[in-house]
Every structure is written in C-alpha cells, then in structure tokens.
Amino acid sequence: CMFEAMKLKCKTLLYATDLDKYLKEERGMYFDIFNLPAPLSKNMEELIDTIKDFDENVYEQKRKKFIGTIGYYYENGPEIISNRIDSVIKGES
C-alpha cells in the first residue's frame, strides 16, 4: 500500500521496527527498502525525527523519480475491474 500512497501523492513514511529481523530471518524484498523515496524509521525516536525533518520538496522529487522508474500503467484499473464485475453479473462475460 505504500506504492499506492506514493502514486496518489500522499506523504509516505516507513516504520519498520522489525526490519532487521525480517531481512535476516524471513525473506528479501522486491525493492531496496533503504533506497525508496519514503523515509525509513526503525524505532519511535527515528520516526519522530523523520517527521520533524521531513522535506516535502526532496520527498516529492524522489517520489516522482521512483514512480517514473517503476511505472504505473493502470490509471483506470478500478474502473476496469468494476466494469468487468458488472459484465459478469449481467452475464455478458
């Protein structure tokens, strides 16, 4: 959902208190979490500092670059899904 928030131009912060354990004991990630546009905090002090020091301009530049890099091609995805559900319900397959 962080990607959806970024796409919708919402300010996004990552708060991952269990990140080190997750990376060590669980599995990897699709993206390098340390290089995402959203600032990462691993504890409450970091989160408070991140909020205090949040630079909207820097975040916005990073967000735009990231969205451009990964691409978003389903601008009308919810509409497509809704129309498909309607057609199935109506028996139009």
Res. 26 pLDDT band, cuts 50 70 90: confident
The mean per-residue pLDDT over the stretch 18-24 comes to 89
- The encoded tokens of residue 63 equal 């967000």
- pLDDT for 93 equals 64
Residue 72 pLDDT greater than 70, yes or no: no
Dihedral of the CA atoms 63, 47, 16, 61 (nearest 10)? 10
Question: What pLDDT, on the 0 to 100 scale, is given for residue 8?
Answer: 82
The partner residues of 7 in beta bridges, in order of sequence, read: none
Cα distance between residue 27 and residue 29, in whole Å: 7
Rounded mean pLDDT, 46-58 = 96
